[in-house]
């Protein structure tokens, strides 16, 4: 007997890629359970599927940085409750982080892919399910977006939940209207501007000399950011050219306002409306 649940949850996370750097993603999760019927004539109660499996997924990968630990360009150093990651990019630039262990999902792979994550999740979830559940399929998929979109990574130090982690991300669409008319040109412009971007709050920028770790190959073109949050102290160094520094927080509300203000400055008296998304099916609206 097989039991299926579609759209079980959404994973919002980022992964490290040798060519793209930080890649923010939002994966919809479908599951299929194979097993014998239990004393309730069920493979597993739907409420338990939704609660138990979602809880495991959230704890393992959601709002984390997915690190391909086996990649030859990646060095991971465990330091008690903290972990340092040194990731060399294809152009010889580096991304370095020193964060609480909870900020990462360390995957034994050479590169992160949907197939790798599906296998990883199956490996950690199946042993935690009841004995009558004999098989598990995990399917990750992206939201079907017919218009331009971007991948962004950020961290929210003022957030009490897991959004405080300095490198988690989203795959997000954006809708922009000028005088209530959809603007394909502006949507495409912002999708290209923020493709594979790391968004930094200006108040979190620090000097490289203030980092707790030794900066590898420092040539003055890096941006360094760090902050204290409820889960601990987070530090990040990355190529400045792969980031954009904003004058405010990087909540979706602030991103929507920022985009709207940037466009309004060019549009004069025209009405500007921006729908900024944070992953799948949620976001903020700004009008000017």
pLDDT at residue 45, rounded to an integer: 78
Q: Which residues have a Cβ under 8 Å from the Cβ of 280 and sit 6 or more positions away?
A: 10, 26, 28, 143
pLDDT at residue 48, rounded to an integer: 79
Question: What's the whole-model pTM score?
Answer: 0.95
Please state the rounded mean pLDDT for residues 261-284: 97
Most confident of 44-58, 126-140, 178-192: 178-192
Phi then psi dihedrals of residue 129, to 5 deg? -95, 160
- Both tokens of 199, joined, read 């968004």
- Please report, rounded to a whole number, the percentage of residues in the chain having pLDDT higher than 70: 98
CATH number of the domain enclosing 135: 3.30.479.10
C-alpha distances in angstroms, 184 versus 176, 178, 188, 286?
8, 10, 6, 18
pLDDT at residue 217, rounded to an integer: 60
pLDDT at residue 38, rounded to an integer: 84
Query: What is the spatial distance between Cα 162 and Cα 28, in angstroms, rounded to a whole number?
Result: 18
pLDDT single digits (tens) 175-227: 999 999 999 999 999 999 999 999 999 999 999 999 998 776 656 689 999 99
pLDDT at residue 28, rounded to an integer: 98
Query: What is the spatial distance between Cα 14 and Cα 204, in angstroms, rounded to a whole number?
Result: 20
- Per DSSP, 259 falls in state H
pLDDT at 42 over 80: no
pLDDT at residue 55, rounded to an integer: 95
Q: Average per-residue pLDDT in the chain?
A: 95
Total count of residues recorded for the chain: 288
Contact 136, 34 (CB under 8 A): yes
Domain count, the chain: 1
pLDDT at residue 216, rounded to an integer: 65
pLDDT single digits (tens) 67-111: 999 999 999 999 999 999 999 999 889 999 999 999 999 999 999
Lowest-confidence segment of 31-45, 149-163, 227-241, 261-275 by average pLDDT: 31-45
Contact 61, 107 (CB under 8 A): no
Confidence of residue 17 (pLDDT cuts 50, 70, 90): very high
Note down the domain range covering 91.
2-287
pLDDT at residue 257, rounded to an integer: 98
Query: What is the spatial distance between Cα 210 and Cα 9, in angstroms, rounded to a whole number?
Result: 38
Query: What is the spatial distance between Cα 152 and Cα 203, in angstroms, rounded to a whole number?
Result: 19
pLDDT at 30 over 90: yes
């Amino acid at each position: 007997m097989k039991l299926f649940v579609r759209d079980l949850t959404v994973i919002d996370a980022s992964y490290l890629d040798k060519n793209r750097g930080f890649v923010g993603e939002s994966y919809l999760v479908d599951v299929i359970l194979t097993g014998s019927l239990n004393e309730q004539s069920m493979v597993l109660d739907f409420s338990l599927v939704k609660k138990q499996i979602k809880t495991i997924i959230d704890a393992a990968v959601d709002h984390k940085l997915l690190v391909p630990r086996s990649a030859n360009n990646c060095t991971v150093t465990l330091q008690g409750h903290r972990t340092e990651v040194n990731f060399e990019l294809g152009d010889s630039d580096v991304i370095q982080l020193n964060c609480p262990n909870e900020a990462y999902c360390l995957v034994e792979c050479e590169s992160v892919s949907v197939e790798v994550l599906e296998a990883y999740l199956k490996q950690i979830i199946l042993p935690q399910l009841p004995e009558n559940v004999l098989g598990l399929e995990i399917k990750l998929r992206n939201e079907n977006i017919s218009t331009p979109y971007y991948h962004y990574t950020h961290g929210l130090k003022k957030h009490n939940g897991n959004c405080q982690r300095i490198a988690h991300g989203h795959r997000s669409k954006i809708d922009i209207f000028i005088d209530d008319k959809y603007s394909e040109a502006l949507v495409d412009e912002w999708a290209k501007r923020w493709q594979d971007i790391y968004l930094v709050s200006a108040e979190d920028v620090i000097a490289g000399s203030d980092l707790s770790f030794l900066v590898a190959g420092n040539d003055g073109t890096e941006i360094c950011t760090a902050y204290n949050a409820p889960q601990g102290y987070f530090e990040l160094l990355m190529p400045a050219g792969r980031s954009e520094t904003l004058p405010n927080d990087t909540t979706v509300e602030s991103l929507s306002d920022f985009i709207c203000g940037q466009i309004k400055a060019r549009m004069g008296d025209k009405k500007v409306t921006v729908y900024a998304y944070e992953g799948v099916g949620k976001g903020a609206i700004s009008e000017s």
